[in-house]
Structure 1
């Protein structure tokens, strides 16, 4: 699986990229047809607090899943985004199984 990284308003270090890569690769357990992933990390300055936003876009054949989460750390945002994608992938798989059963 190919993972692209884009960081806006900062430079992401290898430690953060490795952390996100390991989390995204765990999604292969739920669907091994994942073609690629794009991770966009943004540092948003909203008043006193700097929010860390992580947007993850996962592509599988005929489908795209997107999750955008924000938190105080990139790691927490990534964890939330991956959990959301996990639910989306499971739901998609359940729909496919139920369609096959009804046919």
Structure 2
């Protein structure tokens, strides 16, 4: 998966970038068609002396759809963990929804083809073709 990381008004160190990469790569086990991810790292608060909240935002791009999650916490690592957990649940729901829609379409097509076969059988029994 291609991941683009944007750190707003600061420079993220390589350890944090590697942590993000490892965590987001694990999402491939829940949905195998993730195209890419766009990550935003932000610091919340104006005063440089205050402890700032860290904001982690990620947008996953799937074929025909995208998922967005935003989490804030005292550390980026904790925010990333929370966001990844939420993304896992969203990906499972999204995949189930897609599977349900696909199964519904297959069932509808099967019923339509069975109805066509019944109509052809009825024509054959009447001796008309």
Q: Which category describes the TM-score, using the shorter chain as reference length?
A: over 0.9
Higher strand share: 1
Q: CA RMSD in A?
A: 1.3
Runs of 4+ off more than 4 Å: none
Show structure 2 runs of 5+ residues with no match.
106-129
Q: Flag the structure with more relative contact order, 1 or 2, with Cα contacts below 8 A and sequence separation at least 6.
A: 1
* Structure 1 residue 21 corresponds to structure 2 residue 35: no
Whole-angstrom CA distance in 1 between matches of 2:62 and 2:79: 22
- Shift of the alpha carbon at 1:46? 6.0
Cα distance in 1 for residues equivalent to 2:4 and 2:103: 36
User: What residue number does 1:76 align with?
Assistant: 78
Q: Which runs of 5+ in 1 are unaligned?
A: none
Q: Which residue of 1 aligns with 2:61?
A: 59
Q: Report the count of equivalent residues.
A: 103
Q: Which structure has the larger Rg over C-alpha atoms?
A: 2
Report how far residue 43 of structure 1 moved: 0.8
Q: How does 1:1-103 map to 2 (within 5 A)?
A: 1-45=1-45, 48-103=50-105
